[in-house]
Amino acid sequence: MLMKIVDLRGFIWEDNEHLLRIKNRGELLSEEFETTVKEIITNVKQKGDKALIEYTNRFDKANISNPKELEVPYSELKKAYESISSDLREALEFAAARIKKFHKQQLEQSFFTYEENGVILGQKVSPLERVGVYVPGGKAQYPSTVLMNTIPAKVAGVSEIVMVSPNPNLATLAAAFIAGVDRVYRIGGAQAVAALAFGTEIVPKVDKIVGPGNIYVALAKKLLYGTVDIDMVAGPSEILVIADETANPAWVAADLLSQAEHDELAGAFCITNSFEMALKIKEEIENQLKTLKRKEIAEKSIERWGTIFIVENLEEACRLANEIAPEHLEIATANPWELLPKIKHAGAIFLGAYATEPLGDYVLGPNHTLPTGGSARFYSPLGVYDFLKRSSVIYVSKEGFEKVKDPAKVIAEYEGLEAHKKAIEIRENF
């Protein structure tokens, strides 16, 4: 049986082993992979470009002997832009314009407030100086990922954007040209993440690494956090659809498969208050799978995670969706806006039958780099705010000092920090 149907009506959810497994799906980053990733990180840190060449030749079937061959000349980006079909070029330009327009609304401004007695307090907002963007290049090529991860950084004002991708094709390089990437390297995997984190002779050290990747990439980002900042530890893609009796089962099935085809570990979940709808969606999935080009990948994904939950009502459906906290949540019901206030945890929320998730992947504008594995409970989509940092600005005049010094001394004394108190007292008689 491919798509599982789990009836939760009348049962205590916490007792359902399958639901518990789904809720714990973010624990896939196992020690088995961690040992390998740690070894790769250590080698890149110690050997630099030599290690990069070794791993690139081994994993990406390349034949590189000189580190300079790892960098893609900027002229190739423009050449790729001119070489792709006009349809694809126009589509990427269309998407880029919408992504830029949406993310401009996320810009933050510095501010200053003046208090009486000579205290000025504020916050200075500054962009990061150099950012690394990881773009997958294994099972498929993703020019959309280039746009989604680079354009918010450009909007934020990042000075230099460095992209890494194993074997990038023309579309990926063309997207890099459109988005404004400054440097591109033909490297991937944990070794590319390590190179960005530490820097090598050929690859510059960055302040932050963003972008999705396989389990090796995700683990490398997790292990190197602190040496470098990261966006999030992103796992396999996932979707959850809340569907009532008015939903089109063929459309729901197509949307579930749109994520299942990404990866054998991708998650496709559905919640409905209709047993008949559950059966129809299951049947549609099995029928649509037969003609899918990536059938083998989608089939394994559905077999591993694919689940249709049946609940009493839509209120329960929202409560269950919050328990799962999906990357993508579609609400395919008669009145989707009524359910929106009940949703607490989701990376992106799609409302209505026509709001199919793939539109969000490409052209709508909001970012498609989203929290997975239940981390939507505490992470947000990638945005301009990820490429900004904030510094507090504090000015205190003599008059302002007199106003605040005494309470500060009391707290310093209570905490037993004598030098703190003295640093205040030494200014009192001047």
- Residue among 262, 328, 345, 368 flagged as catalytic: 328
144 burial type by CB count under 10 A (0-12 exposed, 13-18 middle, 19+ buried): buried
Let me know how many helices (H) and strands (E) the chain has, helices first. Answer: 17, 15
DSSP 204: P
pLDDT at residue 347 is higher than 90: yes
Burial of 164 (0-12, 13-18, 19+ CB in 10 A): buried
Angle (CA) 44 129 377, round 5°: 80
Task: Dump pLDDT digits (tens) for 311-341.
Answer: 999 999 999 999 999 999 999 999 999 999 9
The confidence score (pLDDT) of residue 1 equals 63
Q: At 336, give phi and psi (nearest 5°).
A: -60, -35
Active-site entry in 261, 284, 299, 327: 327
Catalytic, 284? Answer no
| pLDDT tens sequence across 383-428 | 999 999 999 999 999 999 999 999 999 999 999 999 999 999 999 9
User: Which pLDDT tens digit goes with each residue over 165-203?
Assistant: 999 999 999 999 999 999 999 999 999 999 999 999 999
Mean pLDDT across 348-376: 97
Euclidean distance between CA atoms 218 and 229, whole angstroms: 13
Kind of pairing between the strands at 71-72 and 183-185: antiparallel
The 10s digit of each residue's pLDDT in 114-172 is: 887 889 999 999 999 999 999 998 667 899 999 999 999 999 999 999 999 999 999 99
pLDDT at 264 over 60: yes
Residue 379 has pLDDT above 80, yes or no: yes
Confidence (pLDDT) at 141: 85
| Token pair listed for 156 | 């934020």
CB-count exposure of residue 76 (10 Å: 0-12, 13-18, 19+): middle
Q: Which pLDDT does position 116 carry in this prediction?
A: 78
Q: What is the model's pTM?
A: 0.93
Annotated catalytic, 327?
yes
Average pLDDT, the chain: 95
Q: Which domains, ranges and CATH numbers included, belong to the chain? A: 4-28+236-365 (3.40.50.1980), 31-232 (3.40.50.1980), 397-430 (no CATH)
CA–CA dist 339, 342 (Å, integer): 5
**Secondary structure letter of residue 109 according to DSSP:** -
pLDDT at 29 over 60: no
Written as one string, the DSSP assignment of 138-188 is: SSS--HHHHHHHHHHHHHHT-SEEEEE-SS--HHHHHHHHHHT--EEES--
Residues ≥6 apart with Cβ < 8 Å to 138? 166, 188, 214
Q: Work out whether strand 208-210 and strand 229-230 pair parallel, antiparallel, or are unpaired.
A: parallel
| Residue 172 burial (CB count, 10 A) | 25
Cβ neighbours, 10 Å, residue 80: 21
Query: Which H helix or E strand runs over 95?
Result: helix 86-104
pLDDT attached to residue 139: 62
Which tokens belong to 118?
């000579």
In this prediction, residue 25 has a pLDDT band, given cuts at 50, 70 and 90, of confident
Kindly tell me if the per-residue pLDDT of 28 is higher than 70.
no
What is the spatial distance between Cα 4 and Cα 306, in angstroms, rounded to a whole number? Answer: 6
Residues 6+ apart with CB under 8 A from 417: none
Task: Please say whether the beta carbons of 382 and 148 come within 8 A.
Answer: yes
| Mean per-residue pLDDT, 343-362 | 98
Q: Is the pLDDT of residue 307 over 90?
A: yes
Chain-centroid distance of CA 124 in Å reads: 26
Q: Which 3 state secondary structure label does DSSP give 247?
A: coil
pLDDT of 31 over the 80 cut:
no
Copy the structure tokens of residue 298: 């989608």
pLDDT of residue 425: 96
Please give the C-alpha separations between residue 191 and each of 187, 194, 298, 395, in angstroms, as whole numbers: 8, 5, 28, 45
**Run of H or E including 420:** helix 418-425
Distance from C-alpha of 357 to C-alpha of 351, rounded to nearest angstrom:
10
12 pLDDT exceeds 80?
A: no
